Structure 1
């Protein structure tokens, strides 16, 4: 199973203006740094929670068809399955008809149930599922606690940027960061 982001988000959950207000920075000389910290903090929150904050497109690539005809989509929240492509043993691609599967977007992880398995797939990367995930196209669609976690990381990394070299980053995580993300993490048993 391989998960690849095919279309990155076009916005960030926190604007540069919001981050600068949070940091109490009024000059523009560090706008590039702060913008980079916002992007890095969003990516860290997404990694830690298994979520996509702003709309983006992902591709799940599978070697084998699942024995129970269920596929789990390990990014949340899933908004739409764009396509399911299967590659036959000779390499020919065919699109699975959306009427032949059901999407459960309420579960976490979201899951797709297929009515039937294909005949034969190529040995590697025989199934590709493209899907759109995220809370929406703008930062206003993202839950407040997740935006607060991004701001907390931005402020922490901004404060510690000169104490350690770039290769040492991120040095640490701020107190309270885990509590902000706790309700959004997908716990494993």
Structure 2
């Protein structure tokens, strides 16, 4: 299973102004650093929670269809735009949406073969099935406040601690940030 970002978010869950206000910065001299920290914090927290915060497009490549449902690796999933079978020669065939059912509101989101049907056979052995989908809560206003606050706390932590540290636990998410994201974490089984 390979997950590829095809179009990142158009905006971040928190603005530079919100980060400046949170850090009590009056000038814009650190805006370049703050923008980079906001993007990095969002990416780290999305990885920790296995959620997309702001709308973004992804492609999931799998080798074969599972016995039952395809469990999506990210949540929330807004839509599945296409399921495509890719042949060795590069030709592709789009799977008819009537052949599958979407359970996007489930946790985790799933794609099932339609009732009474099954999945079509892949056209090649490795990475022959591409699932294009859109994930995220929507725009920044739709991102849960706890996740936005976690981004701000992590930005503040990195802003104040600019040098790498080498002690046990240095690579861990700060406790307060971890506490905010606990309800949104999707665990791997």
Distance in structure 2 (CA, Å) of the matches to 1:132 and 1:93 = 20
Q: For the structure 1 residues 131 and 100, does the alpha-carbon distance in structure 2 shift closer, same or farther, using more than 3 Å as the test?
A: same
- Greater shift after overlay, 178-187 or 111-120? 111-120
Runs of 5+ consecutive residues of structure 2 not aligned to the other structure: none
Q: For the structure 1 residues 188 and 129, does the alpha-carbon distance in structure 2 shift closer, same or farther, using more than 3 Å as the test?
A: closer
Q: For the structure 1 residues 66 and 20, does the alpha-carbon distance in structure 2 shift closer, same or farther, using more than 3 Å as the test?
A: same
Tell me the SS of whatever aligns to 1:80.
Answer: strand
**Aligned pairs, how many?**
182
- Residues 23-71 of structure 1: CA distance to partner in whole angstroms, max 9, x if unpaired? 0001111110011100001001100000000000010101112123x11
Q: Which residue of 2 aligns with 1:24?
A: 24
TM-score (norm 2): 0.90
Runs of 4+ residues over 6 Å off in structure 1: none
Q: Which residue of 2 aligns with 1:105?
A: 104
CA RMSD of aligned residues (A): 1.7
Q: Give the C-alpha shift of residue 99 in structure 1.
A: 1.1
Q: For the structure 1 residues 92 and 164, does the alpha-carbon distance in structure 2 shift closer, same or farther, using more than 3 Å as the test?
A: closer
Runs of 5+ consecutive residues of structure 1 not aligned to the other structure: none
**In the alignment, structure 1 residue 66 sits paired with structure 2 residue 62:** no
TM-score (norm 1): 0.90
